Amino acid sequence: MPLELLKQLISIPSQNPMGRDVSGPEFLEGRMSDFLEGYFRALGVKYERTEIAPGRANVIACYDSPGAKRTVLLDAHEDTVPVDGMTISPYTPTVSDGKIYGRGSCDIKGGMAAMLTAFSRIVREKPAGAANIVMSCACDEEHTQIGIVAFCESWKAGDSNLLRRKPDVALIAEPTSLDAVVAHRGATRWRIVTHGRACHSSEPRNGVNAIYRMARIVKELEEYAEFVRTVLPPHRLCGPSTLSVGRITGGQSVNVVPDRCEIEIDRRCIPGENSALVMKQLEEWLRPRVDFDFEMQPPWIQSRSLSDETNGPLADELLSLVAQVAGPRQKIGVPYGTHASTIAAYGVPSVVFGPGSILQAHTKDEWLPIDELELATEVYYRFCLQ
């Protein structure tokens, strides 16, 4: 049953540090990878665990179906966002009023439980005509997505012992309320740094205040954030391009004029927009507007958008099964990013689908509707029979 499996997954901490200097058993995906390795071993399928970074591994498993016409990739990431500010016990799965609560219940351990249950049912029942199935559980989706990139590179380079060629189609688990996501934005994230000259705050004119300089940049970026929404026509499913300044740090002490300040920028790109150019475009816009130098640091993530130009037939096939199981649903676009865009960039038609709503993801009392968990499990199972 997917519910019992989901309870187990919620109880295993797999927080992504999100770039913070933190440590402890609740961080990184190591214990989740251990669980998945044991799960696949007990199931008796071929599996592979690959360390991507210290304490962070991808775990994939394969089922080879005699006479299969295609290979289906089922993908669900191992990590969750941090638990800061949660008002419920994050690792104690609690069932109430048709919902299950806990960190990751919605994003995306619910989808993982549904996929694992469908995968294990195929393995046990061995239905005639089923697809070959690759179950991918990648690390670090929430921050830099190094896991899925390494996984895709492994089949491209022929380094994977289990996946010698790319899959034919992919379903990516994310909370979509059982709709089929066929398009989403990409994200480029980087830091801008201003430098100054430190001095004693009793004589601030003896120094150069890096925070004051950054304040001028932030003011200009507020204007640019409105401008960038109009550079390209909004995508019909994803809306316009966006920019946001999400974090600022600077200074050592209140009595020292700061010599350094930095901000973190989130730039969302719509399908058809070149995410590799957005930093240069902003820099060319910003430099003439300030009379001091600043530093544009390399991006720590540059994820692609997902276009709906090639995945329509896959979405139609999926939605026909969803209609049989859960009633009519639709193709949609979303503003957030997923593994789908990376997988699609390697030539695999990809659609995002799973139980739960994005409105419950990352929240202080994260929860998932149990009925959607069960419906998604049946859809994944039937899809793998095609």
pLDDT, tens only, 181-224 = 999 999 999 999 999 999 999 999 999 999 999 999 999 999 99
Q: Are residues 235 and 330 in the same domain?
A: no
Average pLDDT over residues 17-39: 95
* Residue 358 to residue 335: CA distance in whole angstroms: 11
Can you give the pLDDT at residue 16?
A: 97
Q: Yes or no: say if 352 and 340 are a contact pair by the CB < 8 Å rule.
A: yes
Q: Are residues 244 and 376 in the same domain?
A: no
From 239, 270, 303, the end of a domain falls on 303
Q: Are residues 22 and 134 in the same domain?
A: yes
Average pLDDT over residues 81-109: 98
Secondary structure class of 131 (helix, strand, coil): coil
For the chain, what is the domain count?
Answer: 2
Q: Given pLDDT bands bounded at 50, 70 and 90, which one contains residue 116?
A: very high
CATH number of the domain enclosing 154: 3.40.630.10
Can you give the pLDDT at residue 1?
A: 87
Q: Are residues 194 and 114 in the same domain?
A: no
Average pLDDT over residues 276-285: 96
Reply yes or no on whether the pLDDT at 160 is more than 80: no
User: Where does residue 130 rank: exposed (0-12), middle (13-18), buried (19+ CB within 10 A)?
Assistant: buried
Reply yes or no on whether the pLDDT at 156 is more than 90: no
Q: Given pLDDT bands bounded at 50, 70 and 90, which one contains residue 322?
A: very high
- Residue-wise pLDDT for 287-319, tens only, equals 999 999 999 999 999 999 999 999 999 999 999
Can you give the pLDDT at residue 249?
A: 97
- Output the average pLDDT for the chain: 96
Q: Yes or no: say if 175 and 361 are a contact pair by the CB < 8 Å rule.
A: yes
From 254, 272, 303, the end of a domain falls on 303
23 contact partners, CB below 8 Å, separation of at least 6: none
- Residue-wise pLDDT for 329-349, tens only, equals 999 999 999 999 999 999 999
Secondary structure class of 89 (helix, strand, coil): coil
- Residue-wise pLDDT for 345-376, tens only, equals 999 999 999 999 999 999 999 999 999 999 99
Q: Yes or no: say if 345 and 280 are a contact pair by the CB < 8 Å rule.
A: no
Q: Which domain holds residue 256?
A: 186-303
Reply yes or no on whether the pLDDT at 153 is more than 80: yes
Backbone angles phi, psi at 63, to 5 degrees: -125, 120
Q: Given pLDDT bands bounded at 50, 70 and 90, which one contains residue 162?
A: confident
Reply yes or no on whether the pLDDT at 71 is more than 90: yes
Pick from 216, 215, 197, 214: nearest CA to 256: 197
Secondary structure class of 347 (helix, strand, coil): coil
Q: Are residues 172 and 218 in the same domain?
A: no
- Residue-wise pLDDT for 223-238, tens only, equals 999 999 999 999 999 9
Q: Given pLDDT bands bounded at 50, 70 and 90, which one contains residue 163?
A: confident
Can you give the pLDDT at residue 155?
A: 85
Pick from 259, 107, 262: nearest CA to 190: 262
Q: Classify residue 206 by its DSSP letter.
A: G
pLDDT over 90, % of the chain: 95
Pick from 89, 111, 110: nearest CA to 26: 89
Pick from 261, 250, 258: nearest CA to 294: 261
User: Where does residue 25 rank: exposed (0-12), middle (13-18), buried (19+ CB within 10 A)?
Assistant: exposed
Q: Are residues 265 and 378 in the same domain?
A: no
Reply yes or no on whether the pLDDT at 159 is more than 80: no
CATH number of the domain enclosing 299: 3.30.70.360
Q: Are residues 312 and 282 in the same domain?
A: no
Q: Are residues 48 and 92 in the same domain?
A: yes
Q: Yes or no: say if 48 and 161 are a contact pair by the CB < 8 Å rule.
A: yes
Report, in angstroms and rounded to the nearest whole number, the Rg of the chain calculated over CA atoms: 23
Can you give the pLDDT at residue 346?
A: 95
Q: Are residues 82 and 20 in the same domain?
A: yes
- Strands (E) located in the chain: 46-53, 56-63, 71-75, 94-96, 99-101, 132-137, 169-172, 180-184, 186-195, 242-250, 260-269, 295-296, 301-303, 331-334, 350-352, 367-369
107 contact partners, CB below 8 Å, separation of at least 6: 80, 81, 174, 175, 356, 358, 360, 361, 362, 366
| Beta strands 186-195 and 295-296, pairing class | antiparallel
Secondary structure class of 289 (helix, strand, coil): helix
From 282, 303, 324, the end of a domain falls on 303
Can you give the pLDDT at residue 236?
A: 95
Q: Which residue in the block uniquely carries the two structure tokens 């034919």?
A: 168
Reply yes or no on whether the pLDDT at 161 is more than 80: no
